[in-house]
Amino acid sequence: ECPSRCSAPRSTSPGSPDQSPSSQRSNCRRLLEVQGLLEVRHTGNQLVSQIITATGSTKEHGAANFYTLHQSPEEIAETVSQAFMGLSIQCAKCHNHPFERWTQDNYYGMAAFFNRVQRKKTRRADELFVWTSNSGEVTQPRTGKQMKPWLVMLKLLNAGF
């Protein structure tokens, strides 16, 4: 079994389709690579910044594997806000949050930030290359407005979030 107690067997077989046992083991391996960052004793802010800004090969840069676990920019925005900021923004996907200050514009602006993260397969098995693009707006469905990346995310990263 996997040492992280996710009960996945240790062996892997490259090239398996998503949701297969092999894919689950691969996700477990990626989790362990991210956990390896914790062993270096990064502060929480450094760890989050490394994960969110990760680029390059998923085989060579463990933090880049974060972007292999999520398919849509909305999923990434929701995960980042919940896991790293302690905020649930899912309500703002459909309407302005009833109890918090989150608006639909905030939600889709945050999704636009992560929509610029691009991935492509490489020639190596189970490897992706992650990079950021200069474009990748998201459409806010209620207004039809093209949302640019939410500047608060940029400020957080520049401040060593």
Q: Could you give the C-alpha distances from 90 to 4, 76, 81, 146, 151, in angstroms and in order?
A: 28, 11, 9, 19, 19
Task: Report d(CA 64, CA 131) in Å as an integer.
Answer: 9
Q: What are the structure tokens assigned to 112, written together? A: 């636009």
Q: How far apart are the first and last CA of the chain?
A: 35
Top pLDDT among 155 and 39 is at 155
Element (H, E) at 139: strand 138-139
Interstrand relation of 138-139 and 117-121 (parallel, antiparallel or unpaired): unpaired
Which residue in this structure is represented by tokens 């270096």?
40
DSSP bridge pairs for 119: 130
- Summarised one tens digit per residue, pLDDT across range 56-86 is 999 999 999 999 988 899 999 999 888 887 8
- Summarised one tens digit per residue, pLDDT across range 11-51 is 443 443 444 455 545 555 555 555 555 455 556 677 888 88
- Give the predicted TM-score (pTM) of the model: 0.67
Query: Is the distance from CB of 32 to CB of 25 less than 8 angstroms?
Result: no
pLDDT for the residue numbered 156: 60
Angle at 33 between CA 32 and CA 39, to 5 degrees: 85
Top pLDDT among 21 and 91 is at 91
- Summarised one tens digit per residue, pLDDT across range 128-147 is 999 999 988 899 999 999 99
